[in-house]
Amino acid sequence: MYVIFNVMEHLNGLNDMQKEAAIHINGPLLIVAGAGAGKTKTITHRIVNLIKNGVAPEKILAVTFTNKAAKEMRERVIAEIEKNAKGQDKIPFVSTFHSLGVYIIKENAHILGLTKYFTILDDGDTTSIVKEIMKELNVDPKQYDPRKIKNIISREKGKFIKLENYAERVENSNDYVGKIVAEVWKKYEAKKNQENSLDFDDLLLKAVTLLKENEVVRKYYQEKWDYIHIDEYQDTNEVQYLMSKLLAENNKNICVVGDADQNIYSWRGANLKNILSFEKDYKDAKIVTLEQNYRSTQNILEAANEIIKKNKYRPDKNLFTKNAQGEKISLYEAVEESDEADFVATKIIELWDKSVSSVGSNFSQVLGSPRPSVPLRARPDHSKSSTDDANILSEIAILYRANFQSRILEEALLRYNIPYQVLGIKFFERKEIKDTLAYLRAALNPENLSDIKRIINFPARGIGKTTLLKLFSGEKDNLPIKMLIKINNFYELLNEIKNKIETEKISDVIKFVIKKTGIENELLEGGEEGAERLENIKELVTLALKYDNLEEGRGAEKLLEDASLASDQDSIMLSEEKNKEKVNGVKLMTVHASKGLEFKYVFITGLEDGLFPHSKMGDSKSAEDSEEERRLFYVALTRAKEKLFLSFANFRTIFGSRQINSPSEFITDIPPDIIERGDDNPNVKTIYI
């Protein structure tokens, strides 16, 4: 197809270094992109430049870590193509690593012995299976945490370690836990194979195994995509590293983007050496460093640079900005955690009232009523005026190192009637959503016993645990006639749902499921809580509308895939898209969850030695752990655009024990001339350091 491009327009708005990266075409390219340096913009313009130079869009692959990032990149690429090209109707393949794995596996399911409708197990599913297996092996779950056993299996698979290799390694060792893991792992894999299901790790492991061991498959995808882009390369594990290397093996046209200073997921298997060794892996690699930050003030960047420069394992990089100097960083020393929470809430009130006064009104005039007394996430509705005023609140984030810290902060926000939302509550992990989707999954893959067990007696059908044991142990013929009728009716219902999936729109299928199964009546009889759960399912129906244009059967398949692969950030994005009013509140989240986000105002709480930087009880802190904690704080600092608030408590109760704390070492690393050590508010006490 003949395409006409505006010659230089696609490079408008790029700085010199961004432009240098964007115009690079052939050969390996490493873009070292600091926080807020416009990496997505650079990748987008590079892709457009490739198309401008005659590369077919379908020959370009871009891989990210979250659906949110993939969606943003896809939309930007489409917008740039529409702006700079006429008549182009194809776009690059943009996906997450796991979605790419699903794509490759589905195209080659027969090679792997899978059916088309294999089930993707989520975290809860895998933990439940591990628990069941441990029961079978008479392993005490109180002594050996099933989640820990599952995490060990996941970690080893992420290193591309196979079961037989792991079992051989621990067989002749004194690693008793390892031997338990090997036994559980063996049964775990057998169970998944039997039920035509895969876990998250399998989505990458099996795809990479195909690429590595099947030459025909490998060559097909190497020829399919001539240009490979990998975002957040510093967060890749061994399997993801192998996947990108195998795909780019043929022509070496691989562009990776990342920042060693933002490597914060080693506990998930992320390997820092992947980005640090890029030049060794690709001898003729071009390196472009993006150091100009467009997000934060000079004071915030100065603090971030001072923090991160103490790390040894990092490339030489120093962020700068042309933004204003900005406000100094506020530091508050609290007596205890409740005092710290009050400080945070009081400061938010100040920001809120300041926002109101800036539009020439007082608080009561703008809102017309007192601040809401219920957290926004639990409130069904509020007025437009309060929504307009609360916009400032959505620009505020409270970050913490550990999830337990949110409780005292939530209590303070409730006390001060400040709307808020806790990031990390996944929409797709709500019971009512999982129940509804389980019916769809079971209809497509009735071999998956996890889904069958979940829904066969929900809503109640009089099928008890004893019946289930007989059913799943092959003793179905020994069941009473009445019970057999109930079971047959259940499976006939699944067949009916499957027929609907193959012939009707997925949004209509979900409506059918909640009515026909009795879920709707069950929830309507459940009072206020039940009504709220039903509202969530209605939101699922709304979400399903965007899959209605897909061919019969494909809508359900894609919805289930996206639901299984959704991250915390993806879930919050979904909520924002579907009901913007409900999310105009202060965001509470761990620092890990804040990665990739930005806010005008950021509170970083709990800056105490042992909490942030974090040290696990009884564990000695390694140099690698110390550096990762410093990188984590660096990420926290660089989420802020205009103002940073830091706080710590001299006393904090953790696991029922009241502790005396020392301030975090990070505080002393920040230049004192950019720290505000006082507070003009007479109602807030500041203890000088």
The one-letter code for the residue type at 132 is E
User: Position of tokens 């992320």?
Assistant: 270
Q: Report the alpha-carbon distance of residue 41 to residue 43 in Å, rounded.
A: 6
**Residue 394, CB half-sphere, CA atoms under 13 Å: how many?**
16
Q: At what angle do helices 123-136 and 146-158 cross, to 10 degrees?
A: 110
Q: In terms of DSSP bridges, do strands 60-64 and 227-230 run parallel, antiparallel, or are they unpaired? A: parallel
Residues in the chain: 689
Which of 206, 505, 639, 641 is labelled catalytic?
A: 639
Q: Provide the residue type at 31 as one letter.
A: I
DSSP string, 181-216: HHHHHHHHHHHHHHTTEE-HHHHHHHHHHHHHH-HH
Residue tagged active-site, from 125, 199, 231, 333: 231
40 noted as active-site residue: yes
What 8-state DSSP symbol labels residue 117?
T
DSSP-derived 3-state class of residue 430: coil
* 642 is annotated as an active-site residue: no
Sign of CA dihedral 290, 296, 298, 302: negative
CA-CA distances (angstroms) from residue 178 to 90, 101, 132? Answer: 49, 28, 18
State the Cα–Cα distance between residues 345 and 351, nearest whole angstrom: 10
Active-site annotation holds for 639: yes
Residue written as token pair 């299901």: 197
Catalytic residue at 262?
A: yes
| Catalytic (active site) residue 401 | no
Phi/psi at 688 (5° precision): -75, 145
Q: Is-catalytic flag, 88?
A: no
Contacts of 509 (CB under 8 A, 6+ apart): 440, 497, 500, 501, 544, 556
Instruction: Identify the helix (H) or strand (E) that includes residue 323.
Output: none
Compute the distance between CA of residue 21 and CA of residue 17 in angstroms, rounded to an integer: 6
Catalytic residue among 19, 39, 434, 461: 39
Angle at which helices 431-444 and 506-516 pack, to 10 degrees? Answer: 110
- Exactly one of 240, 262, 436, 569 is catalytic; name it: 262
At position 231, the amino acid (one-letter code) is D
Nearest to 439 by CA among 537, 524, 364, 363: 537
The CA distance from 310 to 304, in Å, is 11
Catalytic, out of 125, 156, 202, 232:
232
Catalytic residue IDs: 39-40, 231-232, 262, 639
